[in-house]
Structure 1
Amino acid sequence: MAREIAVFIDGDGATTSLTEPGKIVIYRRQQGKWQSQSEMPFCLDHSSGMPGVRPQLAAMVQSLGTCRVFIARSVTGLLYRELEQAGFSIWEFAGQPIEFLEYVLIQEELAAQQQTAIKAVPLPIVETGPGCYQVSLKDIQHSGNGLTSKQILQPLLSKNFYTIEVLCSHVPPWLEAEWTCGRLDCHAEKMAEGLKLTIRKQNCG
């Protein structure tokens, strides 16, 4: 994978919220060291509302080239969804880039390895209709293949979908966090065989 990471920082060089004025710095790891490759001032103009924000984000995405890892102090709502749909891996950190760049790179490389492993394992995921899926975390985890709930569900959540029905014994903590902060529309229902989660998305396509 390309060792490039985009970080949104303020005038003091620390990460800031994407809703605040700042600059995007693309860092690249070369010969064991992180070096700044490019900088671009960026400040969202909210005067035209959300319809005006989308083209600004699209221009920003285009300026980042092949870099698909983005870090800011905070990325929420429409900003998060637009970056996610553009294929970005999004991280939230407070502090100076040197404090977390190496950690993010290692986690990204591990995730890429895990995705390769997942592709080699047939998963009992059923597509019940266009954009509608069912998956049993209980069956997969009891199979002993070592996959985690995040490894199983994230590829599905990155798709365009209407609903994903998940049978599990409990809500995975990472999924509960996404649910609580409003990034996912999720409903839990107790069933005889466990807990059924219904995850919905407003649009598919």
Structure 2
Amino acid sequence: MGRKIAVVLDENGQTSTFYESSVIKVYTKEKEEWKVISETSLSDNKMTGTKLIRESIKNIVEYLNECRVIVAKEVSGIPHTVLDMAGFKIFEVEGEPEELLDPVLEILEQGEVEKTSSVNDNDIKVEPIPLNKEGSYYINLKEVQKSKPGITSKGALLPFLRNNTFYELEVICSHIPPWMESELKRLHMGLDITQNSSGEYKIIIYRKTCNEN
């Protein structure tokens, strides 16, 4: 049996968050087909209160057993902390399992090849790097996640956003992280988004002035 990948799904079969999901299905690829080998309902999970959330995620970790890859629409807060400490590779992807499992598996396998090769991926910075303009920083999430598949957009950006003083941060990515807008609003930051002809996004994150809402 091949690698196992757990997917957090809503009632419509789309990836979801732990707070909105109804089921976790564990998939494995047999020959050229992905098959569900186990699933557990989350409908009765009461994901409210720090203690109950932590206990719920720990129960999920125990249920998943040796499976240490999980895919969800978004993984934040306590779920992210517990899963990360348990050694999970976390992928934040929107869509149906049929369309996302092969790309996730490809990233995982590529990461293992690079880990055992002579390629030095330490040149790819996980955190934003300073630019010549004072207070300006840059990060290419596409390169970071290609080099280090276990790194999520939150893992690469949130520590910097929450703990550093900066004027603006330029982010290059293939999609807009679903958590970004609400988190930036909470941090009183704004963003400008542009997309080039190849579909790549450039996000400029900046600190709002006192006059901005």
Mark yes or no: TM-score above 0.5.
yes
- In the TM superposition, residue 21 of structure 1 has moved relative to its aligned partner by 3.6
Q: Does 1:6 pair with 2:6?
A: yes
Distance 2:154 2:102 in 1: 24
CA 1:55/1:147 → structure 2, altered by over 3 Å: closer, same or farther? same
Partner residue, 2:24: 24
CA 1:92/1:179 → structure 2, altered by over 3 Å: closer, same or farther? closer
CA 1:188/1:148 → structure 2, altered by over 3 Å: closer, same or farther? farther
1:101 is matched by which residue type in structure 2? L
Q: 2:158 aligns with which of 182, 185, 188?
A: 182
1:149 is matched by which residue type in structure 2? I
- Aligned Cα root-mean-square deviation (Å): 3.1
Distance 1:113 1:188 in 2: 37
Count of aligned pairs: 150
Partner residue, 1:39: 39
Does the CA-based 8 Å contact 1:68-1:88 persist in structure 2? Answer: yes
Q: How does 1:1-205 map to 2 (within 5 A)?
A: 2-43=2-43, 44-47=45-48, 49-117=49-117, 145=120, 147-150=122-125, 153=126, 171-174=138-141, 178=154, 182-183=158-159, 185-187=162-164
- In the TM superposition, residue 50 of structure 1 has moved relative to its aligned partner by 0.5
Does the CA-based 8 Å contact 2:57-2:82 persist in structure 1? Answer: yes
Unmatched 5+ stretches in structure 2: 132-136, 145-152, 167-213
Distance 1:7 1:179 in 2: 19
Distance 1:146 1:87 in 2: 20
1:45 is matched by which residue type in structure 2? K
Aligned identity (percent) is: 28
1:172 is matched by which residue type in structure 2? I
TM-score for the superposition, normalised by structure 1: 0.62
| Larger CA deviation: 23-32 vs 50-59 | 50-59
Q: Deviations over 1:89-134 (max 9, x none)?
A: 11112221000100000001111222223xx68xxxxxxxxxxxxx
Unmatched 5+ stretches in structure 1: 122-144, 155-165, 190-205
CA 1:20/1:172 → structure 2, altered by over 3 Å: closer, same or farther? same
Paired residue secondary structure (1:14): coil
CA 1:36/1:172 → structure 2, altered by over 3 Å: closer, same or farther? same
Paired residue secondary structure (2:158): coil
CA 1:148/1:108 → structure 2, altered by over 3 Å: closer, same or farther? farther
1:182 is matched by which residue type in structure 2? L
Q: Deviations over 1:66-108 (max 9, x none)?
A: 1111011121122112111111111112221000100000001
Does the CA-based 8 Å contact 1:4-1:27 persist in structure 2? Answer: yes
CA 1:146/1:61 → structure 2, altered by over 3 Å: closer, same or farther? closer
Q: Deviations over 1:135-187 (max 9, x none)?
A: xxxxxxxxxx565415xx59xxxxxxxxxxx9765542337x54786355442
Distance 1:149 1:100 in 2: 25
